[in-house]
Amino acid sequence: MPSVMIIRLKQFVALAGLAVTDLFRQPATFILVLANIACTILVPLSVSHQLGQQSHLAVDSSLAFEFVFGLLLTGYAACSTLHDECRSGTILIVFSKPIGRLTFFLAKFTAVALLLAFFVFCSGVATLLAERLAPQNFEFDPLGLKLLMASPFLSFIPAGLLNYRSHRSFVPPALFLFALVLSVLVLILSSFDREGHRVVIGSMMDWRLLPACLLEGIALLLLAAIAISLSTRLAAPATVSILLVLLFAGLISDYLAELLQGIPLSGSVLQAILPDIQNFWPADKLAGGGVISGRMLGHAALYAAAYSSGVLCLGYTAFRNKQF
């Protein structure tokens, strides 16, 4: 007879697996991930008046896009997987089985986290490409552009054929193939310079950007914890709005604390409640050749873990007593 822990683990894996499969099949996921990649790579190509600062622009805008689209994806995914399931009644079928609410709640959070992990990976790849393909001295990289333009065809056509032949959903294979093609593109472009000559593999990419994207990913995970806790009670518009407010407030938390200096304890309470998003904003750290060290990532991860745990506890408390 399998132990209770193993049963719970199997249930957890089944729930999380189903939820993440469902999330990957949704057209909104496809649109958001694709839009993030498109904006990240194309905006630096099109805005060309930075007088030598093109790479800097590419990095800054990519990181900003990752935050914004990541937030939208987090809010949407959390509500789609939890709130909508409560509203539609499918949760009743789940709870008619011997499944604990904690297992269910954590499985949903894990599903959103897995989706975010994929998103952050795509974002990282897109950021590397954006920085590499940004015009230098107002000249574009012809090889890079040609390969970039071919990449949607190389990924969507096979996904379309798969849908045609086997009637499988178009979205997940399209997403995964696109991520794969872009990753291959990164490897290829890291081995060629702008004139098309072979160089040492990896020398043409700014690999510092990967830890930067990961740092933002940790922030998005923190926001995912907030989103899943909010979605126990609130629908998508309210959840996304609150996330936006928290993101904005988190970015200016120092300024807000200064504003509230006159009121005792208010500043420290505010700083305790608001997530300190400034810790996760890597653009300033990368300026002037800086790197995101492992230690920095570790601290950020620790902060995110502690904050997320607290938020998830609150979320679970709201969910535990919810009646359907």
The contact set with another protein (CB under 8 A) reads 26-28, 31-32, 35, 46-49, 51, 72, 76, 80, 135, 137-139, 163-164, 167, 170, 237-238, 241, 259
**Rounded to the nearest whole angstrom, what is the least distance from the CB of residue 138 to another protein in the complex?**
5
Q: How far is the CB of 238 from another protein (least distance, A)?
A: 7
| Closest to another protein by CB, 46 or 96 | 46
**Min. distance of Cβ 46 from another protein in angstroms?**
6
Please report how close the Cβ of residue 243 comes to another protein at its closest, in angstroms.
14
Given the complex with another protein, which of 114 and 238 has the nearer CB atom?
A: 238
Residue 313, CA distances (Å) to 38, 230, 324 in order = 36, 12, 20
Task: Give CA torsion, residues 100, 101, 107, 112, to 10 deg.
Answer: 170
3-state secondary structure of 322: coil
**Cβ 284 to another protein, closest distance in Å?**
21
Cα→Cα distances 47→53, 126, 138, 149, 261, Å: 11, 17, 10, 18, 41
Of 135 and 267, which CB lies nearer to another protein in the complex structure? 135
User: Residue 136's beta-bridge partner residues?
Assistant: 139
Q: Of the two residues 259 and 291, which places its CB atom closer to another protein in the complex?
A: 259
d(Cα 284, Cα 51) in Å, to the nearest integer?
20
- 1 vs 51 by CB, closer to another protein: 51
Cα 30 to the center of its chain, rounded Å: 13
Instruction: Output 191 or 271, the one with its CB closest to another protein.
Output: 271
User: Whole-number minimum distance, CB 2 to another protein, in Å?
Assistant: 36
What CA–CA distance (Å, rounded) separates 88 from 91? 8
Residue 167: strand, helix, or coil: coil
Written as six digits, the tokens of 311 are 């938020």
